[in-house]
Amino acid sequence: MELTITQPDDWHLHLRDGELLGAVAPHSAAHFGRAIVMPNLRPPITTTAAAVSYRESILKALPAKCSFQPLMTLYLTDSMQPEEIKLARKSGVVFAVKLYPAGATTNSQDGVTDLFGKCLPVLEEMARQSMPLLVHGEVTDSNVDVFDREKAFIETVLQPLVQRLPQLKVVMEHITTADAVKFVESYEGPVAATVTPQHLLLNRNSLFQGGLQPHNYCLPVLKRETHRQAIVSAVTSGSKRFFLGTDSAPHERRRKECSCGCAGIYSAPIALSLYAKVFEEAGALDKLEAFTSFNGPDFYGLPRNKSKITMRKSPWVVPESFPFSFGEIVPMFAGKTLQWQTFMS
Ligand SMILES: NC(=O)N[C@@H](CC(=O)O)C(=O)O
Ligand SMILES: [Zn+2]
Ligand SMILES: [Zn+2]
């Protein structure tokens, strides 16, 4: 079986920096035309100037003659000024601003502590400039059960936010619950969501199957099966509000397999194969291309890619790990056999 589709983009990607950047960037560039690059480095990318220089490092890490385009983002902080949004828009290289509630996930310690108290002028400027706000949608209150944090975020932050700024474009990143699906589907304003391969294919049992599975640990954490099914139904329904965002988040093996392992799943090299599997199993391969290649650029107001890729059913084994100079990265589904392969046309 073979499928030719418009080249996909990845609307949520972690490329890291230094050696790790060199190890992972070619994997994304091999399949995707563009990617929204997350700004949660240490230190985080909080200014347009930093985004411009990070973009240069990414371009240097790509193979020769590669047309992959990194679309940069800024990391929202309590102290960001509306002026920065104007600079970002003018630069032509920054395409969104990312909200990490302080303490919610990897490298979020410099994130926002009080969105409505500190960030309204910036958010208003973003609405004016049509600059999307991307959200890691979880509350950080330790009294809220970790499996309920996305739902609580929708109720306490997202709903009030979209009511206050109905013009603001908002992308709920890496959605994990039926509650998020319902919020995105039912709200009439410019709200969309990215969906990862792990939240389409795995439920929370995968964290504990045969012992603790650190390579299935990411944030927001995997949820129960009913939530997974709701997300599969949403993306395979053909709704334009859901699009591909791998959240591919590499950490070197030693930082995953230890007493306090990092959150993040490395999926870039296998993501397209996994999305194809999900759509095939749902009998919805005809809806795959809109999810991978149309809905994202349409929401961001960018042109769709012109080039095509071909996906073919031909079994292959996911590598056990990807070595680099000072470590190795274990991908999602390491050592497993997958059916779909991607070829550039
Ligand atoms: N998803 C994750 O579990 N981790 C991401 C951060 C994020 O996207 O929340 C990372 O940067 O490692
Ligand atoms: Zn996140
Ligand atoms: Zn992420």
Residues with CB in 5 Å of ion ligand 2 = 105, 136
Which one from 27, 136, 215, 227 is the annotated catalytic residue?
A: 136
**Residue the block writes with tokens 């000024």:** 81
Give distance in angstroms: CA of 40 to centre of ligand 2: 9
- Choose the catalytic residue: 169, 174, 227, 256: 174
Fill in the DSSP letter of residue 307.
-
Judge whether 330 lies within some domain: no
Average pLDDT over residues 13-41: 98
What band does 344 get if pLDDT is binned at 50, 70 and 90? confident
The rounded Å distance from CA 4 to ligand 1 centre is 31
Q: Which domain does 211 fall in, by range? A: 10-307
Here the CATH number for the domain that contains residue 153 is: 3.20.20.140
**Angstrom distance (rounded) from CA 274 to CA 146:** 26
* Angle between the N-to-C axes of helices 82-91 and 120-129, in degrees from 0 to 180, rounded to the nearest 10: 30
> Active site includes 174?
yes
Report pLDDT digits (tens) over 270-312.
999 999 999 999 999 999 999 999 999 999 999 999 999 999 9
Which candidate in 151, 247, 256, 277 is catalytic?
Answer: 247
Predicted confidence band of residue 240 (pLDDT cuts 50, 70, 90): very high
Question: Among candidates 306, 314, 307, 305, which has minimal Cα distance to 340?
Answer: 314
For ligand 1, atom 4, which residue shows the shortest CA distance?
264
3-state secondary structure string across 125-159:
HHHHHCCCEEECCCCCCCCCCHHHHHHHHHHHHHH
Of 264, 237, 283, 258, which Cα lies nearest the Cα of 332?
264
- Is 341 inside any structural domain? no
pTM metric for this prediction = 0.98
- Give domain status of residue 128, yes or no: yes
What's the ipTM? Answer: 0.99
Instruction: With H, G, I as helix, E, B as strand and everything else as coil, classify residue 4.
Output: strand
The answer to the question of residue 339 being in a domain is no
pLDDT digits (tens, 9 = 90+) for 31-61: 999 999 999 999 999 999 999 999 999 999 9
CB of 284 closer than 6 angstroms to any ligand 1 atom: no
Annotation says 27 is catalytic = no
Which residues place a Cβ less than 5 A from the ion ligand 3?
247
End-to-end CA distance of the chain: 16
Catalytic residue flag (residue 98)? yes
Number of domains in the chain: 1
User: Is residue 334 assigned to a domain?
Assistant: no
Residue 153 lies in a domain: yes
- The answer to whether the CB of 68 falls within 8 A of the CB of 344 is no
Beta strands at 327-329 and 322-324: parallel, antiparallel or unpaired: antiparallel
- Which residue has tokens 């949403």? 234
Given the CA of residue 100, which atom of ligand 1 is nearest to it? 9
Pocket flag, ligand 1, residue 176 (CB < 6 Å): no
Q: Is residue 240 part of a domain?
A: yes
Q: Is residue 296 domain-resident?
A: yes
The answer to whether 85 touches 125, Cβ cutoff 8 Å, is yes
Distance between CA 127 and CA 238 in Å, rounded? Answer: 27
- The verdict on whether 12 is a catalytic residue reads yes
Q: Is the CB of 105 under 6 A from ligand 1?
A: yes
Asked if residue 345 has pLDDT above 80, the reply is no
C-beta of 138 in contact with ligand 1 (< 6 A): no
